[in-house]
Chain A
Amino acid sequence: MKKILIVATIFFNINLLFAQSSIPSVDVKDINGNIFNTSQISNDGKPIIIDFWSTSCKPCIKELIAIDENYEDWKEETGVKVYAVSIDNTRSVNRVAPLVNGKGWEFEILLDVNSDFKRAMNVVNIPHRFLLDGNGKVVWQHTSYAEGDEEELYELVKKLAAGESLEEKH
């Protein structure tokens, strides 16, 4: 048990050391099957949300539905763009387009069938969302979804769009 605590403490501390970084370059696919390199993720200097999800992950779908309900307003107010990265493998990747369109989502959809982008972004469990500032730097990330989490996310997006820092006061 002691070992566990030591390891956990160290990793939680390392966390603080590396805050900002850009997106690694990995080949994934867009929803039309074209190869898309993740270094092309951009939004004209406005904030970006990258959300890892899959068709069989209930909380992921809930989160995307919650974002979708507000997406029009968010875009209008802050210009934010959402990239929803599906980690569905070959078994279910073909369900992505019908599901996305069936639900009428207007996010940028990326398909990461062999989890290469997920690994490069060090995601362990989904849903996992990243928030990028106007320079394409990761400034915040969060794992799992609980009801209402999208409100916290949007508060941060608004701060970013207004050019404020996300640093919390300790």
Chain B
Amino acid sequence: MKKIILLFTILAFTFSSLQSQNADLGQIHGNFQMDAQLYNNDSLIGANVPSEKMGLNSYANFNYTRGKFNAGIRYEGYFPALNGFDAKNNGVGIPYKYASYTSEDLTVTVGNFYEQFGNGLVLRVYEDKALDYDYALEGVKLNYKPYKGVYIKAVYGKQRYYWNTGTGLVRGIDGEFAINDIIEKLADKKTKLTLGGSFVSKYQADKDPIYKLPENVGASAARINLYRGKFSLTGEYAYKINDPSGVNDKIYKPGEALIVNATYSQKGLGIYASAKRVDNMSFQSDRNADGKDLNINSLPDITKTHSYALLAMYPYAIQPNGEIGFQAEVIYKIKKKSLLGGKYGTTIDVNYSRVHNIQETQINDTIAIGESGSLGYNSNFFEFSKEVFFSDLNIEISRKFNKKVKATVVYQNLVFNNSVFNNGNYHKTIYSDVAIADITYKFTSRKALRTEMQWLRTNQDKGEWGMLMLEYSMPHWFFSVWDMYNYGNPEENKQVHYYYGAVGYINKANRIQIGYGRQREGVICAGGVCRYVPASNGLSVSITSSF
């Protein structure tokens, strides 16, 4: 650890002194992020202290650019990983390094890289450190633009698995064709059309004694993007051949996914609709991996991402083995200086999403639905099962009243199928209503107080919650305190106050935040596996910096 820091410091100083002599040595940039927490015992919320007494996750990126050459590394250290992160992360090293150059129309990248084909239905390797995901490929990537409007990508490599690579090999190619650029006659047409197609194949040896497993599994996808003025229509269909795995319980049914989005927007009005069907479409470079690990593709959720604490109490998790659903949203801005709109206008955002299981029937009388070593089940493409996974109606109204006061109110009605999302406290289906008021009052142009009042009502799970938050911001600093109170918990001894206080200091691209208090437990689900983030109590420090 010390050695690494020393090395980077020396490099940095040498580099900067050389640079000041006006030599073209390129540029180094990067960032640093560190989250640490000291844990306290708190039997009331079930928070335990790990034997190390604290957790620390740290990351630093260094990217070097000189002309058409790029290279970079990422340091990662977990001493040990924070609660809720996989213990396999524990350790320190440089798991991400790459170099790339561009020559004419071709860019070659070697080492670790991220990539997405189309909507990601057959390939999306990405990272999200906050969720403990890193699917980086290690190998070779080509980006090639042979003609105007033609974009080809090819990837070949193995995926990251904590400090190693997974056993499976991933190979993929993608082409995207901007038709209006390719055909000159269409260049000035109002309608813009882009077509794309991808093919991805994975290899993993079959060592299973019972099942005949496919060693090469291919998945392909075709997509269309159509834009005309205020309208857009995009869609992608993906198909995967037999891919028995732990996540689908070794069924040999081919996988399918379809996603369609349509939007209409003009000044003051935005309309968005999307529909999706997923059937047995988990795609991992190791068939024996956890649902969370070694994912080659990423199936998009079609529910709204919420940032208010109580709206995120029951978060939706994609079901790669099968789901069908739709989402619609209207954003409307009532004109300024109208009766309803007020002096500054009022924005209304209504969003509704609903996801069901796909309809499944037995192949024949002897094979149970989803039985290992069979074709699994039959399913009509457009049929919804009666089983509701999730439904979310939310209405958000924002209005600026005058130069000092702004407010947002939110209402949400949620249906959450707990036997599928499995948040640990078993209760079949949770029905909840949430109401939120978020008011900002500006004392001066740069000093403001924000108040959030949130309320969640449900008869299931942990019952009702209330939350009050106050946040004061001024140049460079912010202070916030909140109390989330589970006053409606059916078990009286669990009617707990989750209080928390935080102070932050921000200077340009540097940010330090120190917080103290209780954080409630939560569950993050992906693929077939749910990851539980235990409740905690203690002091947390988080630092981010970019340069």
Minimum CB–CB distance for B4 against chain A, Å: 10
Query: Contact between A147 and B302 (Cβ–Cβ < 8 Å)?
Result: no
Query: Contact between A124 and B33 (Cβ–Cβ < 8 Å)?
Result: yes
Query: Contact between B269 and A101 (Cβ–Cβ < 8 Å)?
Result: yes
Give the interface size bracket for B toward A: 35 or more
- Known contacts A7-B5, A98-B265, A122-B61: does B114 contact A15 (CB below 8 Å)? no
Which residues of A are found within 8 Å of B546, using beta-carbon distances? 121-124, 128, 141, 143
Query: Contact between B265 and A24 (Cβ–Cβ < 8 Å)?
Result: no
Choice from B225, B272, B504 contacting A33 with Cβ under 8 Å: B225
Minimum CB–CB distance for B204 against chain A, Å: 25
Query: Contact between B119 and A4 (Cβ–Cβ < 8 Å)?
Result: no
A35 interface residue (CB < 8 Å to B): yes
B124 interface residue (CB < 8 Å to A): yes
Query: Contact between A122 and B305 (Cβ–Cβ < 8 Å)?
Result: no
Q: Please report the C-alpha to C-alpha distance between residue A100 and residue B268 in the assembled complex, in whole angstroms.
A: 9
Which residues of B are found within 8 Å of A57, using beta-carbon distances? 307
Query: Contact between B126 and A97 (Cβ–Cβ < 8 Å)?
Result: no
**Chain B: CB-nearest residue to A122:** B31
Query: Contact between B114 and A14 (Cβ–Cβ < 8 Å)?
Result: no
Q: Please report the C-alpha to C-alpha distance between residue A25 and residue B70 in the assembled complex, in whole angstroms.
A: 10
Which residues of B are found within 8 Å of A18, using beta-carbon distances? 16, 27-29, 547
Query: Contact between B34 and A7 (Cβ–Cβ < 8 Å)?
Result: yes
Q: Please report the C-alpha to C-alpha distance between residue A6 and residue B9 in the assembled complex, in whole angstroms.
A: 11
- Known contacts A21-B29, A119-B114: does B120 contact A142 (CB below 8 Å)? no
Give the residues from 19 to 58 in chain A that come closer than 8 angstroms, CB to CB, to chain B: 21-22, 24-25, 27, 32-35, 55-58
Minimum CB–CB distance for A32 against chain B, Å: 5
Query: Contact between B331 and A141 (Cβ–Cβ < 8 Å)?
Result: no
- Known contacts A116-B114, A123-B31: does B544 contact A97 (CB below 8 Å)? no
Which residues of B are found within 8 Å of A120, using beta-carbon distances? 63
B495 interface residue (CB < 8 Å to A): no
Q: Please report the C-alpha to C-alpha distance between residue A22 and residue B33 in the assembled complex, in whole angstroms.
A: 23
Choice from B15, B60, B267 contacting A104 with Cβ under 8 Å: B267
Which residues of B are found within 8 Å of A114, using beta-carbon distances? 114-116, 120, 124, 126
Minimum CB–CB distance for A163 against chain B, Å: 22
Which residues of A are found within 8 Å of B151, using beta-carbon distances? 27, 35
Minimum CB–CB distance for A124 against chain B, Å: 4
Choice from B36, B126, B298, B473 contacting A146 with Cβ under 8 Å: B473
Which residues of B are found within 8 Å of A27, using beta-carbon distances? 143, 151
Q: Which of B30, B272, B547 has the most CB of A within 10 A?
A: B547
Choice from B225, B272, B445, B474 contacting A151 with Cβ under 8 Å: B445
A103 interface residue (CB < 8 Å to B): yes
Minimum CB–CB distance for B281 against chain A, Å: 14
Query: Contact between A95 and B329 (Cβ–Cβ < 8 Å)?
Result: yes
- Known contacts A115-B126, A148-B445: does B36 contact A4 (CB below 8 Å)? yes
Minimum CB–CB distance for B295 against chain A, Å: 13
Which residues of A are found within 8 Å of B70, using beta-carbon distances? 24
Give the residues from 111 to 170 in chain A that come closer than 8 angstroms, CB to CB, to chain B: 113-116, 119-125, 128, 140-144, 146-149, 151-152
Contact digits for B1-43, partner A, Cβ 8 Å, 1 yes 0 no: 1000100110011011000000000011111111010000000
Query: Contact between B28 and A147 (Cβ–Cβ < 8 Å)?
Result: no
Which residues of B are found within 8 Å of A32, using beta-carbon distances? 192, 227, 232
Choice from A15, A98, A128, A143 contacting B272 with Cβ under 8 Å: A98
Contact digits for A68-108, partner B, Cβ 8 Å, 1 yes 0 no: 00000000000000000000011110110111111110000
Which residues of B are found within 8 Å of A124, using beta-carbon distances? 31, 33, 544-546
Query: Contact between B265 and A101 (Cβ–Cβ < 8 Å)?
Result: yes
Q: Please report the C-alpha to C-alpha distance between residue A104 and residue B333 in the assembled complex, in whole angstroms.
A: 9
Query: Contact between B268 and A102 (Cβ–Cβ < 8 Å)?
Result: yes
Query: Contact between B448 and A90 (Cβ–Cβ < 8 Å)?
Result: no
Which residues of B are found within 8 Å of A90, using beta-carbon distances? 116, 119-120, 124, 298, 300
Q: Which of B270, B442, B446 has the most CB of A within 10 A?
A: B270
Q: Please report the C-alpha to C-alpha distance between residue A102 and residue B335 in the assembled complex, in whole angstroms.
A: 11
B301 interface residue (CB < 8 Å to A): yes
Q: Please report the C-alpha to C-alpha distance between residue A14 and residue B543 in the assembled complex, in whole angstroms.
A: 15
Contact digits for B99-142, partner A, Cβ 8 Å, 1 yes 0 no: 00010000000000011100110001011000000000000000
Q: Please report the C-alpha to C-alpha distance between residue A97 and residue B504 in the assembled complex, in whole angstroms.
A: 33
Query: Contact between A122 and B30 (Cβ–Cβ < 8 Å)?
Result: yes
Query: Contact between A113 and B116 (Cβ–Cβ < 8 Å)?
Result: yes
Contact digits for B500-512, partner A, Cβ 8 Å, 1 yes 0 no: 0000101011111
Query: Contact between B541 and A4 (Cβ–Cβ < 8 Å)?
Result: yes
Query: Contact between B234 and A94 (Cβ–Cβ < 8 Å)?
Result: yes
Which residues of A are found within 8 Å of B8, using beta-carbon distances? 10, 14
B271 interface residue (CB < 8 Å to A): yes
Choice from B332, B473, B509 contacting A141 with Cβ under 8 Å: B509
Query: Contact between A102 and B347 (Cβ–Cβ < 8 Å)?
Result: yes
Which residues of A are found within 8 Å of B329, using beta-carbon distances? 95, 98
Query: Contact between B506 and A144 (Cβ–Cβ < 8 Å)?
Result: yes
**Chain A: CB-nearest residue to B301:** A91
Minimum CB–CB distance for A105 against chain B, Å: 10
Q: Please report the C-alpha to C-alpha distance between residue A144 and residue B506 in the assembled complex, in whole angstroms.
A: 8
Q: Please report the C-alpha to C-alpha distance between residue A45 and residue B222 in the assembled complex, in whole angstroms.
A: 41
Query: Contact between A17 and B12 (Cβ–Cβ < 8 Å)?
Result: yes
- Known contacts A27-B143, A35-B178, A119-B114: does B545 contact A128 (CB below 8 Å)? no
Give the residues from 259 to 291 in chain B that come closer than 8 angstroms, CB to CB, to chain A: 261, 263-272, 274
A sample of 28 cross-chain residue pairs with beta-carbon separation below 8 angstroms, ordered by A number, consists of: A4-B56, A8-B32, A8-B512, A10-B9, A17-B12, A18-B16, A18-B27, A18-B29, A21-B65, A24-B65, A24-B70, A34-B194, A89-B120, A89-B298, A90-B116, A90-B124, A91-B300, A101-B270, A102-B347, A102-B349, A115-B127, A142-B509, A143-B508, A143-B509, A144-B506, A144-B511, A147-B447, A152-B475
4 closest A-B pairs (Cβ-Cβ)?
A98-B270, A102-B270, A148-B446, A101-B265
